[in-house]
Structure 1
Amino acid sequence: MNHVSEIRTVGVPVTDQDRAVAFYIETLGFELLMDAPLPQFGGRWIVVAPAGSAASIALVPAREGNPAGVDTGIRMASPDAKAAHEYFLGAGVDTDELLEWPGVPPMFSLRDPDGNRLYISQA
């Protein structure tokens, strides 16, 4: 029997939840799905995602044992990776070079304000 049916939310540790929300909403264009007080967790339970996405990101408070500034391993898709790359560079986002290899979709990585690495490839 399969006891796990989907990957729903991945936590990304951040040092300033308000700054992170602004980046993920205003810069990446995500939607705010939830923002609820969670004092026992040291902050709020904040969930963001691209419109219509089945998977989401929880912007969790960084703490000892779960520091910010990590390679999240999160791969996101864009209909036009080159245009997205140019947009993020122009917006001042810490963005790596656009990788374009024969037979592989264009891709690049970027970092949020806490240095958490995210990846974008062409859908």
Structure 2
Amino acid sequence: MLVTGLAGSVASGQPRMDLLLPAELSFLTFPGMILMALAALKQRVYIHLSAALPVAAAADLALCQWLALHADFCGAQKPIMVGSAGLLLLFDLSAVTAPVMGLLSIRRLRGATP
């Protein structure tokens, strides 16, 4: 998301970010994050980080929606561009962290079994 937004901005010469992408992808990422948090809670592995991922993604989604609405009503493009890039990066990181944590949890639990 972030790479295509930056590439489109460079190609067109003006700021372009799709702030609605987290909303479009949330139906794919939220169930995985919630299942990861439930599995972490049951296995008692990486509980705090697993619980923080869906919360951070939901907050990021809300902020992206607010910023998209705010960007329509104001003419300041540079601060909106910087803010949207940061929010999209946060959403990307939370979406990538969940499967990585799942793999680390599997590895840690396999090592703990006799």
TM-score computed with the length of structure 1 as normaliser: 0.25
Structure 1 or 2: more helix by fraction: 2
TM-score computed with the length of structure 2 as normaliser: 0.27
Task: Give the greater-gyration-radius structure (CA).
Answer: 2
Structure 1 or 2: more strand by fraction: 1
Structure possessing the higher relative contact order (Cα contacts under 8 Å, 6 or more residues apart): 2
